Amino acid sequence: MFEGIFVPDDVRAAVSDAAWLQALLDAERALAAAEAQAGLISSDAAEAIAAACRAELYDAEELAAAGRAVGNPVEPLVRALGARAGDSGRYVHRGATSQDILDTAAMLVTRRALDPILAELARVAAACASLAEAHRSSVMPARTLLQHAVPTTFGAKAAGWLVAVCDARRRLVDLRAHGLAAQLGGAAGTLASLGEHGPEVLRLFAEELELAEPVVPWHTNRVRIAELGAALDLAAGVLAKIALDVALLAQTEVAEVAPAAGGGSSTMPHKRNPVGSALAGACARQVHAYASVLTGGLAQEHERGVGGWHAEWHALSGALAFTGGAAGATRQTLDSLEVDADRMRRNVDATDGAIMAERIALLLADRIGRREAHELVRTASAGERTLREELEASIEADELDAALDPETYLGSADVFVDRALAYYRETS
């Protein structure tokens, strides 16, 4: 029930039992195909095996029940597949160990799940880019430690989101392209039962699945699993940052953005809850936890871990699922976001000039010294009267007007928007 709330249907499907089952079978099919190419088994056998490698022929629950005794689902699947493949059944799984199949399947599941995730991330980036372009001139308060700092633009803010999304997405794109490798080491990483054909079968197996060929079997070198976990965590964290900012901007008192209508409360009809922000934030917390299982599992014993390996399957599935959830929720949030540029500007003005304190202090510093200027502005900002009123004695009216104009104190905001958009175009 909860996964249905958090995880988009396409990502859920990509990490479902059916998807894992098919990926396991794809690995077995590819192994037979590679061995046929290498002349170790006949093409007929490979074809008979391929024909039996369809997930719908098997029952995941049954395999799980049978897998409990051996600690993985591959062993019962190999038996079931062997039975289905008739006379060719004896050529199933030749030279492989369960981990070869499971790790390779994990790579396939990852690649397939990354498709909808990367697509959503691309849409998130596109939404950020649109906002950055559209709101170049929407002046708003920049906030540090949740306090008004100086003016910025919503375009610059969205540009900051955009760069982070591009960074996180690029890492996942890189890992999808280069970080997914076939696993084939046999019983304990020597491919002994394939005799001298080991390396050839490994190469053909990897080619067949369009996965990278690893330098050596990686049964207990879990770098690529840990890197996947870290990269998913990164993506989810970047999405949570956007989601958090949206929730903060949507606060009743701030009201600079409004999430899509629909996030109602069961009892309070007036509310427009930032539901997408809540979902994305919740997803990111799950991803962080799952990623921690993956990055925390590098120290596996000898040639196959006792538990560390087993913990990866559920954690990798979960990390993919909830990264997809974070991406989906953030994308929906941004796509339906109502931006109130007028309110942004009113919020800039709401402190009657205090947001311009840095500029005023710099102006005065040239006249009365830095420390004195800082102190004067600090006192002025803290008083009953507005900063303008306090400063009228020290600064000419025209000069004060100019100094208090936020539109002329945006520095490089616009340049940074351009740079972010250029970076986006380069990296996407």
> What residues between 172 and 211 interact with a copy of itself by CB under 8 A?
186-196, 198-199
| 369 near a copy of itself, judged by CB under 8 A | yes
Q: Select 114 or 164, whichever has its Cβ closest to a copy of itself.
A: 164
Of 137 and 221, which CB lies nearer to a copy of itself in the complex structure?
A: 221
Which residue, 33 or 417, is less far from a copy of itself as judged by CB?
Answer: 417
Q: Judged by CB under 8 A, does residue 403 bind a copy of itself?
A: no
The verdict on whether 265 is a catalytic residue reads yes
Instruction: Assess 337 for contact with a copy of itself (CB under 8 A).
Output: no
Per CB under 8 A, 300 contacts a copy of itself: yes
Question: In 59-164, at which residue ranges do the beta strands (DSSP E only) sit?
Answer: 139-144, 147-153
DSSP secondary-structure letter at 212? B
Using alpha carbons, select from 332, 334, 312, 242 the residue that is nearest to residue 284: 242
371 carries an active-site annotation? no
**Backbone phi and psi for residue 151, each to the nearest 5 degrees, phi listed first:** -70, 150
Judged by CB under 8 A, does residue 227 bind a copy of itself?
yes
Q: Which of residues 67-86 bind a copy of itself (CB under 8 A)?
A: 67-75, 78, 82
> How far, in Å, CA of 298 to CA of 133, rounded?
43
**CA–CA gap between residue 399 and residue 349 (Å, rounded):** 18
Least separation, in Å, of the C-beta of 53 and a copy of itself?
Answer: 16
The span of 32-40, 44-52, 123-131, 217-225 binding a copy of itself (CB under 8 A) equals 217-225
Of 118, 122, 149, 341, the residue at the interface with a copy of itself (CB under 8 A) is: 149
Verify binding: residue 252, a copy of itself, rule CB under 8 A: yes
**Interface with a copy of itself includes 243 (CB under 8 A)?**
yes
Residue 155 found at the interface with a copy of itself (CB under 8 A): no
- Inter-CA distances, 406 with 143, 305, 346, 384, Å: 14, 60, 11, 22
Amino acid of residue 283: C
Spot the catalytic one: 54, 265, 378, 385. 265
Nearest to 377 by CA among 398, 353, 401: 353
Q: For residue 271, give the DSSP letter.
A: -
Give the nearest distance from C-beta 396 to a copy of itself in angstroms.
20
Cβ atoms of 78 and 104 within 8 Å: the answer is no
Task: Please identify which of the residues 84, 143, 304, 345 carries the catalytic annotation.
Answer: 304
Quick one: which H or E segment has residue 5? helix 2-6
CA pair distance 53, 22, nearest whole angstrom: 7
Q: Does 51 bind a copy of itself (CB under 8 A)?
A: no
User: Quick one: which of 11, 279, 334, 404 contacts a copy of itself (CB under 8 A)?
Assistant: 279
Q: Are 218 and 224 contacting, i.e. CB atoms less than 8 angstroms apart?
A: yes
User: What backbone torsions phi and psi does residue 152 show, to the nearest 5 degrees?
Assistant: -145, -170
Catalytic machinery residues: 265, 304
